[in-house]
Amino acid sequence: MPRDVEPRLLRGFVACAEELHFTRAAARLYVAQQALSRDVRRLERDLGAALFVRTTRQVELTPDGERLLPLARRVLRAHEELAAAFGGGAEPRALLVDVNTDGPGTGRTVLERARELAPDCELMARFESGLTHAAAEIAAGRLDVSFGYADGLGPALRARLERCPVRYEPLAVLLPEGHALAGRDAVPLDALAGESVYAGAGNPRTLEWTGLARELFAGRGIEVAPPAPVAMGKEEFGRVMAKTGNPVLVAVDFPDMPGCVKRPLTGPVPLSPLSMVWRKGFGHPGLDALRTAAAGLAAERGWLVPPAGSWTPGGSHPAPRAGESKVSRRSSGGDRG
């Protein structure tokens, strides 16, 4: 066993272990695949253990690789913390935070509070519009933090993430101005019976949101509308809305759109469990500020106290444990508008 193991070798190993694909891991680290393969072979030689089983079709971790992975993550996190604490004044890199849409919303509110708490950190907003896509970007190291309905992600992707609960977010429906329900102050779910409601159907970025909608609509006579072109920006969104005429399932804080009205849903009030998610083992002072901001806002505004008689996926409201960040908790999902 060598006395020292270079962090670069561990970083390459972790990327390969998480991707289980050397080409993707190399792209994630911005290195040549040949260089990454050499580093993995050197680490195996230094440790005296085979870490991967490689075939022409797949890459798998060996038992020794499985044993090394959590240790390597802890070592790399310690290096990041050491660099942040004794970096000779060097600032940590910007933290890339997906807040889903370029407008108001829970993610934006948490981000703004975190910026107040950590003014020396650069927290850069991104707008990925779909947790399924954003979570894959986080796992690949191209994004750091996102918000969404985490229980709607696939188990393999969830296993690579950590999370904390943020809010039970009420849902609403976005209606064309001329829709028969547009004149109401709120729309009972039963009033949508016979409607086709758009919920990102066919958009691979928003699979978790479509899944939540199917669960909500089941047994209520509400259909999930067929795929529509993915609209970027308010003008394009309004144009597609006018063309299709379908109501859209959104979070209550979804930005106002031209030619549309937004109405809260009732009878019962549907809630989407919103989580903040990040890469397992990742550390950054900006992430600490985001977690503190989310916890403070939830306490101040009652975000994690669901109203009596409301609806959530799975039908239960488990109370989050103090400091909870595991992806297995049903209460810790999120949503996508």
> In angstroms, rounded to a whole number, what is the distance separating the alpha carbons of residues 262 and 254?
8
Within 10 angstroms of residue 301's Cβ, the number of other Cβ atoms is 12
Separation in Å, CA 55 to CA 21, 58, 59, 61, 289: 11, 5, 6, 12, 43
Gyration radius (Cα) of the chain, Å: 22
- Segment 218-237 mean pLDDT: 76
pLDDT band at 254 (very low <50, low <70, confident <90, very high): confident
Domains of the chain with CATH codes: 7-85 (1.10.10.10), 95-168+272-332 (3.40.190.10), 172-266 (3.40.190.10)
- Phi and psi at residue 290, to the nearest 5°: -65, -40
- Segment 58-67 mean pLDDT: 92
pTM for the complete prediction? 0.68
Residues contacting residue 12 through CB under 8 Å, at least 6 positions apart: 25, 29, 31, 36, 39, 40, 43
- Segment 125-149 mean pLDDT: 88
Whole-number pLDDT of residue 30 = 67
SS3 325: coil
Query: What's the pLDDT tens digit per position in 228-238?
Result: 666 555 566 66
The pLDDT > 90 percentage for the chain reads: 45
pLDDT band at 147 (very low <50, low <70, confident <90, very high): very high
pLDDT band at 322 (very low <50, low <70, confident <90, very high): very low
Task: Tell me which residue of 85, 125, 93, 87 sits closest to 108, measured CA to CA.
Answer: 125
pLDDT band at 335 (very low <50, low <70, confident <90, very high): very low
pLDDT band at 337 (very low <50, low <70, confident <90, very high): very low
